Amino acid sequence: MSRTRPLPPVLRVVVWILRPLFMVVMRRDWRGEEHLPREGGYVLAANHLSYIDPFVLGHWLVDHDIPPRFLVKDPLFSIPVIGRLLVAARQIPVYRGTGAAAQSLSAATEAVREGGIIAIYPEGTMTRDPEAWPMSGRDGAVRIALATGAPLVPVAQWGPQQIMWPYRREFRLLPRKTMHVRVGAPIDLSGLGPDATAQQVHEATERLMDAITDLQAQIRGERPTAPRIDVRTLKKPKTRYEER
């Protein structure tokens, strides 16, 4: 397990408020922490399947003495109070689709070089798979790992979607749900470096998403039966789910 890292003051307050509540309303199934690097910075790459899963992943991070630090969509930083809290908690804004997009990767890269741990949702958005399987990934997580030489650790979540299904507003806290988090072995990036070609980065990202999918399959006890949705188009191929 990673060495203990101090939480920023604002996060200590948030944890003091939320963690006792989570302990009461959620059961925890945390597994695979033996795969976490013991020293240095690294990248955690997780699937995204609910509006609440950042809180679940944050809970898992705190339980493992890791200060939650995410790449967060930049509009949230413009919301009064919330934006100030995000800045104080040292979250990193993501300026997707703008000229400032590279700043996000640069900030995350620098944080990892300094020994920090960054949590990234490589899909870049919540899954739109009808069965909540991971979609394809964007290449940011791999690029940060290659630029820093840091481990790239896959993480799968399952359970938050039972409270809030992706893109739905229904909130079902009861009956009490189990939140599952599985950590896998770091992705093999040997032979690759900052000068990796676009094709090599794409293939490494595919391996990352395969690993996350495999971890989620272990939790669920089943395998996906349809092709992975391409996050770049968000157009799913025809599958048996469309026949339901």
Q: What is residue 239's predicted lDDT score, i.e. its pLDDT?
A: 39
pTM score of the predicted model: 0.89
Within 13 Å of residue 72, how many CA atoms lie on the same side as its CB?
A: 22
Q: What is residue 99's predicted lDDT score, i.e. its pLDDT?
A: 57
Q: What is residue 240's predicted lDDT score, i.e. its pLDDT?
A: 37
Helix, strand, coil % over all residues of the chain, rounded to 5: 40, 15, 45
Please report, for residues 8, 18, 75, 83, the alpha-carbon distance to residue 92 in angstroms, rounded to integers and kept in the order given: 14, 21, 12, 11
Q: What is residue 242's predicted lDDT score, i.e. its pLDDT?
A: 35
Contact 124, 195 (CB under 8 A): no
Q: What is residue 97's predicted lDDT score, i.e. its pLDDT?
A: 61
Contact 15, 22 (CB under 8 A): no
Q: Considering the domain 9-234 in this protein, what is its CATH number? A: 3.40.1130.10
CA distance 72 to 19: 21
What H or E segment, with its residue span, contains residue 154? strand 152-158
CA distance 149 to 146: 5
Q: What is residue 230's predicted lDDT score, i.e. its pLDDT?
A: 94
Q: What is residue 197's predicted lDDT score, i.e. its pLDDT?
A: 95
CA distance 144 to 11: 24
Q: What is the mean pLDDT of each run of 10 residues along the chain (244 residues)?
A: 70 88 92 95 97 94 93 84 86 72 83 94 94 96 96 98 90 91 97 92 97 98 95 61 32
